[in-house]
Structure 1
């Protein structure tokens, strides 16, 4: 996976915005103002994704490219090396999981707003 494919895939989800809230190298993707993915655009050596804590630990055991979230809550975030041997389909699955995990934990009001945005897109 390359940085362009990663960015395009993150932006394909409903209600996603991107920005540089920390510095000029760290691109952050948010849904309804909640972060679900971040990446260093200069090196593209690490993608940080939110993950269920049990699944996060399991993925770290299964894949050498998956480590505890760099500069993040190690329990809830994983760092993935996109330049390793991982299949792009698998990385995309984890991006989608991260997005869905954040959406599921949004306040109901924000979830409804997101649903309305999606309905408008479908029209």
Structure 2
């Protein structure tokens, strides 16, 4: 399954999309999904949540609440270690440059995750 975020998604057909924060991202994300795809949001749904539009387009839009779970984190780490789950890293910045890293993310032009390194 493709695991990508950011503005470069438009025109691509993904099975799932997990928007990061804003409610408006959820609505825009529907255009990135293929028929039968799923939009997963961690933002609590309100009247703007696109569940009805997703259903009408042959997709799903769901909300999930994530709580810390040591066993689940170990399972995820195992998936990463085995190569079955990959994270696309778009940039690495030293912790002292957190404001630059934040500006990169806000600019919407980074493909992949921005990682802050303590060293």
Normalising by structure 2, we get a TM-score of 0.24
Q: Of the two, which has the highest radius of gyration?
A: 2
Given the two structures, how large is their TM-score scaled by the length of structure 1?
Answer: 0.24
